[in-house]
Amino acid sequence: MSIILKNVNKIYKTGDIETYALKNISLEIKQGEFLVILGPSGSGKSTLLNVISGLDSPTSGEISYNDEIISNYDSKKLTKFRRDNLGFTFQQYNLLQNLTVRENIEIGAAIGKNPFNIDEIIQKVDIESEKDKYPYQLSGGQQQRVSIARSIAKNPNILFCDEPTGALDEATGKQVLDVLQKMNKEFKTTTVVITHNPNIALMADRVMKMNSGRIEEIVRNESKKNAFEINWG
């Protein structure tokens, strides 16, 4: 269940001025891998995530998933594609404040075609003691673990994470990365992490380095580090 991009461009127009956010991106995201897309602010990595996941459409080029050309889908088909196949975790936790931890996770499971057992997911992300609390009663790291649990509960084929540790300190960030790494390993969930932190790249199977909307290089890590082994600064 790989996603393949062929010569993908994203152009924003302001009057007569064209700005290339993505330039001739060709890439295959392989089933079950942990891929880190690394680059500075403005490099195009979040735009790439939006285009790959169907949150936005490319200006040109082709994106396919399971031999289906999803870049040709209309908005209705893209919504169904995301619901059936994808999970998302962002820097902002986007939890529903009037629901408990368990209820937030149940919402994720409810939209999955083959969801995981909720109690198992709660245990995996180590929030059993918080399951009846509300988001405002949790730390930032706990809220991010709930966000990951909600995304994983639906049993997505691919989990997209956009700067998932951007608002967290080192100790908490490593705990969150450890959860992502465990989910990838135990459930074989293809995991794509967008980050500007080069040390997080050491956890990946492959690292795609971006700058100015282009792929600079793709590197395979022969030996991956776990989340608690990486440096932070």
Domain ranges in the chain are 3-94+157-229
Q: Where do runs of H (alpha helix) occur along 53-201?
A: 75-85, 101-110, 118-124, 140-153, 170-187
What's residue 71's pLDDT?
Answer: 93
188 in Cβ contact with 158 (< 8 Å): no
Question: Tokens 């793709």 correspond to what residue?
Answer: 218
CA distance 153 to 163: 20
What's residue 207's pLDDT?
Answer: 96
**Amino acid in the structure at residue 167:** A
| 100, pLDDT greater than 90 | yes
Question: Tokens 């590197």 correspond to what residue?
Answer: 219
Six-digit token pair at 139?
A: 């730390």
Confidence band of 93 (pLDDT split at 50, 70, 90): confident
What's residue 1's pLDDT?
Answer: 64
Strand partners of residue 138? none
CA distance 67 to 2: 9
203 in Cβ contact with 225 (< 8 Å): yes
Strand partners of residue 217? 209
Q: Summarize the chain as % helix, strand, coil (round to 5).
A: 35, 30, 35
- Percentage of the chain surpassing pLDDT 70? 99
Six-digit token pair at 105?
A: 């996770």
What digits encode the pLDDT tens for the residues 116-140?
Answer: 999 999 998 889 999 999 999 999 9
Average pLDDT estimate for 163-180: 89
Which pTM was predicted?
0.92
Does the domain at residues 3-94+157-229 carry the CATH identifier 3.40.50.300?
yes
Six-digit token pair at 207?
A: 């690292």
3-state SS class at 20: strand
